[in-house]
Amino acid sequence: MSAMARHAKRKTSKGPRPDAGSPAGPETPHRRPRRPGARLRRAADIVLIVLALGAIGLFVATRIIGGRDGAANGVAAGANGKNGNGAGAAASTVGPENAAGPAGEFADLETGPDEFEGDPSGEPMAGPAILSDPYAARPFAPVDDARLAALLDPEIERSLKVGRIPSMAVVCFSGDRIVWTRSAGLANIRVKTPAACDTVYLISSTFKTMSATALLQLMEQGKFKLDDRVNDYLTDLKIEGENDRYPVTFRNLLTHTSGLPTDFGRHAVWEDQSPPSLTDYLRGRLRLARRPGTRVLYSNIAFTLVAHLIEKFSGLPFKEYMRKNIFAPVEMRDTAFEPRADMAERLAIPYMPVRRRGGIFRPVDWVKADAWPAGVVYGTAIDQAHWLMATVAGGVYKGRRLISPITFQEMTRRQFDRFAGPINGGWLNETSGYGLAWWVSILNGEKIIAHSGSVNGYTAFLAGNLNKKTGVAILTNGNKAHRWLYSLALKALEAL
């Protein structure tokens, strides 16, 4: 038979594939066509076969993996390190060969739950990338007032633009009531996150007013007197270079007239070097740069020493004392030395404007500092307003007294008349001077207290009227934005 004939024969003899369950061989022309029901049954059979094969494969894989690391995961291992049959099981890990550590599907530095527990009420939590967990948030409803908005919104807009400030949060109060809030700009420029009332910023040196209040609480307990010599209370430390005729007093520490240098000791948050302990940092750095009482020399070291003294007098770590005796009584729930996870979610990025390029900003490092008690603290404008509200009320918040009326009067009295004049770049007028930590001024016959704070990429400001019991708290992720916050604060105090 020729090749062409053989090819033709194969072509004519080929028929459809035999149906499942039918005799082998070509389908005859007289066979009835398959019904639709038969096709569906055949598809269902195929699906069942595939599922069965998948289950078998999963079972085999589980047995193999379980035999390898079941003991490490506690699946079939007892306390004696043997498996369910009593045979010893070799330790294993998912990772580099012979690596130590827990084994499992995700062997990592830290083991933990796959998810947070749900809300006890049974309500479902929001899905991914839609909403943050509402049970971790501390929402605060904005408070509006048409009159204040008309007066202050234009000033806020001007401050953001001319002052080159990416964002700010502003809270105004009168008496014990918040009467107006405003947030504007972007807390994160890159992803366009708008600022909010509960955006977290670095509050920086405004925290010094809190440390001063804490130290004065201990003074009221008889631990020391304002004009006592500080060295008399130090055991493992000593202020060096002191003349016995001109000692450093507690009053000097709280008014920046101690003669101790400024210092800061900057570290990026992400570097591996951490600030030393308070005692280790202060040892060898408590050396006078000038004689006490001769001039105002802003000193972060002085307020780091204040933290050390608070620990010494109270017997508590400084952070713990501040949480219990300052933050908690004033309901400053979102103020912390180390931001909680839900606070970190709300952190504003610190920025600096790029020189000669209007509207362009560059992020800068979050910082740690050797002198961290001087103001490396995070918080919200709401919490700052609570603190200022307690202060202008004479040291009382919702009936809880922080300091006595006599101590409050001393704290808000200008301490050294010879150092009077505008403070820190121009606040406020010739009457301005240091009280105990607070700046104290007279404006139109009324007493104004204030304090600023600044760390690269953040500027904060507090200002309150003691006569009217009004005040404004401003937090920003703007760099050295003091003059714009001063102007805004004065307009706010005038409007309240």
Residue pLDDT, tens place only, 141-184: 899 999 999 999 999 999 999 999 999 999 999 999 999 999 99
Q: What pLDDT score was predicted for residue 110? A: 72
Report yes or no on 176 lying in a domain.
Answer: yes
- Model pLDDT for residues 456-473, shown as the tens digit of each residue: 999 999 999 999 999 999
Q: Is the pLDDT of residue 26 over 50?
A: no
Percent pLDDT > 70 in the chain is: 72
- The H or E element spanning position 177 is strand 177-188
Q: Where are the alpha helices (DSSP H) in 393-458?
A: 405-411
How far is Cα 451 from Cα 391, in angstroms, rounded to an integer? Answer: 12
Residues 151 and 97 in one domain: no
- Please tell me the least confidently modeled range out of 121-130, 186-195, 341-350, 388-397: 121-130
Residues 183 and 61 in one domain: no
Q: Report which of residues 323 and 29 the model is more confident about.
A: 323
Band the pLDDT of 319: cuts 50, 70, 90. Answer: very high
- Model pLDDT for residues 336-392, shown as the tens digit of each residue: 999 999 999 999 999 999 988 888 999 999 999 999 999 999 999 999 999 999 999
How far is Cα 167 from Cα 159, in angstroms, rounded to an integer? Answer: 10
Residues 305 and 209 in one domain: yes
Band the pLDDT of 132: cuts 50, 70, 90. Answer: low
Burial grade of 195 (CB within 10 A; 0-12, 13-18, 19 or more):
buried
Q: Report which of residues 2 and 228 the model is more confident about.
A: 228
Report yes or no on 293 lying in a domain.
Answer: yes
- Model pLDDT for residues 98-116, shown as the tens digit of each residue: 444 444 456 677 766 666 5
* Number of Cβ within a 10 Å radius of residue 5: 9
What does the block give as tokens for 289? 């740069």
Band the pLDDT of 41: cuts 50, 70, 90. Answer: low
Task: Tell me which residue has tokens 């589980």.
Answer: 62
What pTM value is reported for the model? 0.77
Band the pLDDT of 288: cuts 50, 70, 90. Answer: very high
Tally the domains of the chain: 2
Residues 317 and 398 in one domain: yes
- Taking a C-beta distance cutoff of 8 angstroms, is the pair 413, 449 a contact? no
- The H or E element spanning position 170 is strand 167-174
- Taking a C-beta distance cutoff of 8 angstroms, is the pair 420, 431 a contact? yes
Q: What pLDDT score was predicted for residue 66? A: 44
How far is Cα 278 from Cα 282, in angstroms, rounded to an integer? Answer: 6
Q: What pLDDT score was predicted for residue 404? A: 98
Q: Show the domain range for 387.
A: 146-495
Report yes or no on 222 lying in a domain.
Answer: yes
Q: Which residues contact 371 (CB under 8 A, 6 or more apart)?
A: 263, 264, 265, 281, 300, 301, 303, 304
In the 8-state DSSP scheme, what is residue 110? S
CATH number of the domain enclosing 179: 3.40.710.10
Residues 287 and 346 in one domain: yes
Report yes or no on 348 lying in a domain.
Answer: yes
- Taking a C-beta distance cutoff of 8 angstroms, is the pair 414, 435 a contact? yes
Q: Crossing angle, helix 300-314 and helix 208-220, to 10 degrees?
A: 40
Residues 78 and 168 in one domain: no
Report yes or no on 139 lying in a domain.
Answer: no
Mean pLDDT of the chain: 83
Report yes or no on 1 lying in a domain.
Answer: no
As a whole number, mean pLDDT of residues 224-233 equals 98
Q: Is the pLDDT of residue 85 over 90?
A: no
Concatenating the DSSP letter of every residue in 213-267 gives HHHHHHHHTTS--TTSBGGGG-SS---BT-BTTB--BHHHHHTT-S-------EE
Question: How distant, in Å, are the alpha carbons of 16, 211, 218, 327, 458 from that of 223?
Answer: 103, 16, 6, 22, 35
Residues 272 and 383 in one domain: yes
Residues 189 and 313 in one domain: yes
Report yes or no on 67 lying in a domain.
Answer: yes
Report yes or no on 131 lying in a domain.
Answer: no
Residues 187 and 334 in one domain: yes
The closest alpha carbon to 394, from 382, 402, 385, belongs to 402
Residues 403 and 273 in one domain: yes
As a whole number, mean pLDDT of residues 293-300 equals 96
Burial grade of 316 (CB within 10 A; 0-12, 13-18, 19 or more):
middle
Amino acid at 79: A
Residues 63 and 158 in one domain: no
- Model pLDDT for residues 200-221, shown as the tens digit of each residue: 999 999 999 999 999 999 999 9
- Taking a C-beta distance cutoff of 8 angstroms, is the pair 418, 409 a contact? no
Q: Report which of residues 430 and 98 the model is more confident about.
A: 430
Residues 99 and 158 in one domain: no
